[in-house]
Structure 1
Amino acid sequence: MNICVFCSAADLDDRYTAPAREFAELIGKGGHTMVWGGSESGLMKVMADGVQDNGGKLVGVSVEFLAAKARTNADEMIVTKDLAERKALLLARADAIVIMVGGTGTLDEATEILELKKHGMHSKPVVLLNAAGFYDGLKQQFQRMEEEGFLPIPLTELVFFAEDGVGTMAYLEESAGVQ
């Protein structure tokens, strides 16, 4: 499975890096490929190291203005002209999407992926990995959107909230029909 992971390029506390390492190990040991922003810093690096250290493959999709920060030993590295092209290519190369902790860039990627899914532009499973309760407020907001009629499809069809890497991988494998 090609698993697109959206996450931060910032250096973060262990309450965020530990779940990332756990999930990266599961990706690698499962023989999966991580498709990600290609950065060699922060949580992106933690994920890439964990996937490679456990036998998984890496497909990076960087952007011209960040290309100097791209990982040099990825199995494949693509550099796009802008963020819009990057997001489209990340989605195109993915069988599933996992949104991990991050800032405005990660939130932008998450909302675009969910908006495209809401409108039937893709049917790929999307998971919000809610490490250390990071997305509790967003989950509450999505529930309110559903309750008040802002979502044309059930929230459970739009996104799955997982508390850890094990729950994330179990959902992805079930969605893909892996026994």
Structure 2
Amino acid sequence: MNICVFLSAADLDERYTRPAGEFATLLGKGGHTLVWGGSDVGLMKVVADGVQEAGGRLLGVSVDFLADRARADADEMVIAGDLGERKRLLLEKADAVVVMVGGTGTLDEATEILELKKHGRTDKPVVVLNTAGFYDGLREQFRRMEDEGFLPRPLTDLVFFAEEPVGALAHLEETLGVV
């Protein structure tokens, strides 16, 4: 399974890196491919290292202005011309999406896939890995959108919130019928 992970390229403390590393190890041991922004820095590096060390495959999609940060030993690396093309390629190459902790870029990527799902333009499963309650506020906002009629589909059709890495991967494997 090709799993796209949207996440930060920032250097973060252990409360975020430990669960990210756990998820990466699960991906690699499961024989899955990490589809990610291609960076070899920060949390992106933590996840790529974990997947690779556990036997998984790395498929990166970087962007030309960040190409100097691209991971040199990825199994495959694509350099997109701009951020829009990068998002399109990340989603094309993925069977599912996991949103980990991140900033505005991560939030942009996450909301784009949810908007595509809302309009029936994709049916790829999306999981938010809510490490240390990072996305509690976002989950509450989504619930309010649903309650007040802003979402034409039930929130549970759009996204699954997982509190732990094992639950995130289990949901994806179950949803996609991977044994």
Query: Which whole-Å CA distance do the structure 1 matches of 2:120 and 2:42 have between them?
Result: 33
Counterpart secondary structure, 2:151: coil
2:73 is aligned with 1:73: yes
Alignment correspondent of 2:88: 88
Query: Which whole-Å CA distance do the structure 2 matches of 1:174 and 1:128 have between them?
Result: 16
Alignment correspondent of 1:156: 156
Matched letter for residue 50 of structure 2: G
1:1-179 matches, within 5 Å, as: 1-179=1-179
Query: Which whole-Å CA distance do the structure 1 matches of 2:67 and 2:14 have between them?
Result: 27
Query: Which whole-Å CA distance do the structure 2 matches of 1:87 and 1:111 have between them?
Result: 11
Query: Which whole-Å CA distance do the structure 2 matches of 1:113 and 1:14 have between them?
Result: 28
Query: Which whole-Å CA distance do the structure 2 matches of 1:178 and 1:114 have between them?
Result: 22
| Alpha-carbon offset, residue 164 of structure 1 | 1.1
Query: Which whole-Å CA distance do the structure 1 matches of 2:117 and 2:154 have between them?
Result: 12
Query: Which whole-Å CA distance do the structure 2 matches of 1:88 and 1:117 have between them?
Result: 14
Deviations 1:46-101 (A, max 9, x none): 00000000000000000000000000000000000000000000000000000000
| Alpha-carbon offset, residue 178 of structure 1 | 2.2
Query: Which whole-Å CA distance do the structure 2 matches of 1:109 and 1:76 have between them?
Result: 21
Q: Could you list the runs of 4 or more consecutive aligned residues of structure 1 that deviate by over 2 angstroms after TM superposition?
A: none
TM-score, scaled to structure 1: 0.99
Counterpart secondary structure, 1:121: coil
Q: Number of paired residues?
A: 179
TM-score, scaled to structure 2: 0.99
Query: Can you give the 5+ residue segments of structure 1 that lack an aligned partner in the other structure?
Result: none
Matched letter for residue 53 of structure 2: D
Query: Which whole-Å CA distance do the structure 2 matches of 1:121 and 1:147 have between them?
Result: 23
Matched letter for residue 135 of structure 2: Y
Identity %: 73
Query: Which whole-Å CA distance do the structure 2 matches of 1:157 and 1:15 have between them?
Result: 29
